[in-house]
Amino acid sequence: MKREYYLILIIFLLVIIYIFVPKDTLKNINETKLDVERRAVFISYIELGNNLRGKSEKKMKSTIDTMLDNVKSFGFNMIILQVRSFSDAIYKSSIFPSSRSVVNNEGDDLSFDILDYFIKKAHKKNLELHAWINPYRISNDTNISIISKDNPAYKLLNTNAVKVIDNVGIYYNPASSEVESLILEGIEEIIKNYDVDGIHFDDYFYPKSYDIDSANYEKARVDNSSLTLKEFRLNTISSLIKKTYKLIKTYDKFILFGISPDGNIDNNYNSNYVDTKLFCTEEGYLDYIMPQVYYGFLNSTKPFEDTVKSWNNLITNNIELIPALAFYKTGNIDEFAKEGVNEWIEYNNIIAREVMLSRELSNYSGFALFRYDSIFNDNLTDTSFLEKENLKNILY
């Protein structure tokens, strides 16, 4: 009898709620998660080069205004802006020369502070701006003549701190303490001089070279002969991540720090040497992780659903999961997807479905799209256009 009484009481209360609570309130409860959803778009050095380089200051500013208008009107609320892609800067720096993405030659004078302009305009539109840094990459090729003499990398050529790698490019040695200090100094310059909402690293960590840090590794083994190269490299990257987080939080606890690692968890350990399991289980490393889950549902090697759920299950601490999604693949063949090679051509709602699925994950706090030019251009394929429209429909 007592059990039946409680059942009747529960039903009665539900009826009261349905009748007397305004429907808008119920709707707001259901949409709370969407109200705080991070909706990010990457603006890379490629976009900066395509849209800004070679233009007058007036035209550059007008173009930036248009880019931000596009981002805001579509429904995004967060920009990941590449401010340092090759040991350079799109801002006024006393450490790094001006970037070839916005000037003709590295080190040329900036006509205005592009980062400062981006930030002020973005904030007026209630858009977060996260400063995207590539910590180790200096150049995508081995031609040292394009590196400015004012570049700290130029001064470190022919030392253990900088390596010219055949068929890869020029990279800072991650295991160099001098390099680690340089990277941290560059981050400190940004957070002290600019009102950024976050600092962001992408997936370029250890370059594909087997000897870039050999001298450092052998030195480390003097004190620990059992130390493997993999352990050494994982510890090297973890050190930078932890020190970056501490630096940022010491200055301003509200500035976020996140990374966007390879979507394949195993690759992070075996190729890039990024200890994502550590970052997702212990405090003091990240505020958010943005894995590049650049896969379709039919990808037979790394299907999206299984992969994004694996990332969600990896997290046991308080960091946010913000999957990065491959809008650039829409309307194109995905040559590494095996049986799913034509998925991005045959379907036009993949991105929207990926967002909807991700919203159900326990650690989800938003999504990011790579990249701006793939979304906002006048030459979208019919499939990409429909992908864009289908995504927009679930953002409002």
Q: What letter represents residue 212's amino acid?
A: I
Q: What is the pLDDT of residue 34?
A: 65
Q: What is the pLDDT of residue 369?
A: 98
Domain extent listing, the chain: 1-30, 39-288, 291-301+326-396
DSSP string, 325-347: E-GGGTTS--TTSGGGTTHHHH-
d(CA 96, CA 56): 22
d(CA 302, CA 105): 40
List Cβ neighbours of 291 (8 Å cut-off, separation of 6 or more): 260, 261, 262, 263, 265, 276, 308, 311, 321, 323, 324
17, 19, 26, 88, 158 from 23: Cα distances, Å: 10, 9, 5, 53, 69
Q: What is the pLDDT of residue 208?
A: 87
162-165: strand order across its sheet: 137-139, 169-172, 162-165
d(CA 293, CA 351): 11
pLDDT in tens, the chain (396 residues): 445 554 555 445 554 444 444 544 333 434 445 679 999 999 999 999 999 999 999 999 999 999 999 999 999 999 999 999 999 999 999 999 999 999 999 999 999 999 999 999 999 999 999 999 999 999 999 999 999 999 999 999 999 999 999 999 999 999 999 999 999 999 999 999 999 999 999 999 999 887 999 999 999 999 999 999 999 999 999 999 999 999 999 999 999 999 999 999 999 999 999 999 999 999 999 999 999 999 999 999 999 999 999 999 999 999 999 999 999 999 999 999 999 999 999 999 999 999 999 999 999 999 999 999 999 999 999 999 999 999 999 998
Coil/strand/helix, residue 80: strand
**Token pair belonging to 30:** 């259901």
Q: How far is CA 103 from the centre of its chain?
A: 24
Is there a contact between 198 and 255 (Cβ–Cβ < 8 Å)?
yes
Domain 39-288 is in which class?
alpha beta
Q: Own/partner pairs for 315-319, CB < 8 Å, 24+ apart?
A: 315/280, 315/281, 315/289, 315/363, 316/280, 316/281, 317/280, 317/281, 317/282, 317/283, 318/283, 319/279, 319/280, 319/285, 319/286, 319/287, 319/288, 319/289, 319/363
Is there a contact between 100 and 143 (Cβ–Cβ < 8 Å)?
no
Q: Which of 137, 86, 139, 131 is nearest to 113 (CA)?
A: 131
**Token pair belonging to 241:** 């991540």
Question: pTM for this structure?
Answer: 0.91
d(CA 235, CA 175): 9
